[in-house]
Amino acid sequence: MKNFNKIAGIVLISLFTLFSADVCQAQTLGTKKVVTFKLQSYACGSDVCEIEFKDISSGKIYTFENIDKKSKYDAVMDEILESYENNDESDSKIIGKTYKAILEFRKTEVLSYDGDIPKRTGKQKSQWMINSIFK
């Protein structure tokens, strides 16, 4: 029985170590991955627009908070905005459209919001950011 407990402990520690290494590797700065997004919503107010993409594999939601100055998304955003405006400011014609995106785990600036206007805080955080979106 002592040997069984010892072996079970070693197996559990080994599995935990492997799992931890896998999770840590996925969160290394500079790591990139390709995902498929489904557009969930798009809306514009008087000062700001909001968008939600859903990673169809993980279910994670990505917004403009996952886009920064390194992101390349102009063609897709132009298409979404044009459809939105041509349909009386409705996202009904674009909801559910799928796009490919390259994500990168990188440091990005932390912004604070005073109303709808973002302000720089001087702090940084590491998170998955959108490098590019394409069809």
Q: In this predicted structure, what is the pLDDT of residue 112?
A: 83
- The per-residue DSSP string of 16-67 comes to HHHHHHHHHHHTSTT-EEEEEEEEEEEEE-SS-EEEEEEETTT--EE-GGG-
Instruction: Please report which confidence band the pLDDT of residue 118 belongs to, taking 50, 70 and 90 as the band edges.
Output: confident
Amino acid at 21: A
Region of 116 on the Ramachandran plot (φ > 0 left; ψ -120 to 50 alpha; else beta): alpha
pLDDT at 18 over 60: no
Question: Among candidates 19, 37, 8, which has minimal Cα distance to 103?
Answer: 37
Output the average pLDDT for the chain.
85
**96 neighbors 39 (Cβ within 8 angstroms):** yes
Cα distances from 85 to residues 12, 93, 98, in angstroms, run 56, 11, 19
Of 49, 44, 46, the C-alpha closest to 63 is 49
Above 70 in pLDDT, residue 57? yes
Measured CA to CA in angstroms, residue 124 lies from 71, 105, 110, 127 at distances of 17, 13, 5, 10
Beta strand pairing call for 61-62 and 32-44: unpaired
pLDDT over threshold 60, residue 20: no
At residue 57, the 3 state secondary structure works out as: coil
Q: Residue 21 — very low, low, confident or very high, per pLDDT cuts 50/70/90?
A: very low
